[in-house]
Chains A and B, each alone.
Chain A
Amino acid sequence: MDLLYFAWVREAVGVGHETVDPPEAVRDVADLVRWLATRSPGHAAALADPARLRAAIDQRFVPLDAPLGDAREVALFPPVTGG
């Protein structure tokens, strides 16, 4: 699974992209966030407060309780601020 991070999430994690193979128990985006937070202090800092995070699966916005299913690309980022 390809992971993308943007804005301060990217800065805290330390990379904008990584490839991971989460265990089967990781079923939805919130599970993924909790699992990723154990990977490094940077991940832990970026993902500590899920209420500050938004997500997309295969380039579509989804809520954090969305099932991962056959997701190929998951992105985690702060609320958007364009315009």
Chain B
Amino acid sequence: MIRVSIDPAPIELALELAALEARGAGGVASFTGVVRGDGGVTALELEHYLGMTEDALCTLAEAAMARWSLFGVTILHRVGRMGAGERIVFIGTAAAHRREALDACAYLIDRLKTDAPFWKREWRGDSATWVEPRSSDAEAAERWQA
């Protein structure tokens, strides 16, 4: 079962983990991305390509389901403006055993960074700068090319 959502609303971690546990799998792995407040960042703003983003995330989830034996995949990404310390992204995977759940979770967050049309803007008080991609993100995604 795949659950994908792109939403300005906060991510309810306990609910999402409980839903994955209820899939009846032996193990649940998750990754939560949180807005870092370092470098004077007061808020983060997320723009996305409405229409394409959901398809891109579903494609990633389907690729993970095809590659590993999974009971469930959840990909949640917030959009709009959020403050330091708030959750921005959640990836959850449920599988019979830890290795599949952990590997699929790592795959999904690595690929999401390069394969989904989101753009981040950092706010420091009243000034904003668009975030540049890191080359390490592309390398992390490459690692999963089978």
Contact = CB atoms under 8 A, between A and B. Distances in A.
A binds B: yes
Interface of A: 4, 6-8, 56, 59-61, 75, 77-83
Contacts of B77: 82-83
A56 B49 contact: yes
Interface stretch (B21-29, B64-72, B116-124): B116-124
A80 B89 contact: no
Contacts of A79: 132-133
Contacts of B144: none
Contacts of B112: 82-83
Given A6-B117, A83-B77, A83-B88, 14 more contacts: A4-B49, A7-B47, A7-B130, A56-B52, A59-B52, A60-B52, A75-B52, A77-B49, A79-B133, A81-B118, A81-B130, A82-B46, A82-B113, A83-B33
Nearest to A16: B47
Interface residues of B, number: 27
Nearest to A60: B52
Given A81-B131, A81-B133, A75 B118 contact: no
A4 B46 CA distance: 17
B52 to A, nearest CB: 4
A82 B49 contact: no
Contacts of A60: 52
Contacts, number: 67
27 contacts: A4-B49, A6-B47, A6-B119, A7-B47, A7-B119, A8-B130, A56-B49, A56-B117, A59-B49, A59-B51, A61-B115, A75-B117, A78-B119, A79-B133, A80-B114, A80-B115, A80-B117, A80-B119, A82-B113, A82-B117, A82-B120, A83-B77, A83-B89, A83-B109, A83-B113, A83-B116, A83-B137
A77 B133 CA distance: 13
B128 to A, nearest CB: 10
A78 B109 CA distance: 20
A81 B119 contact: yes
Contact of A59 (B55, B89, B130): B55
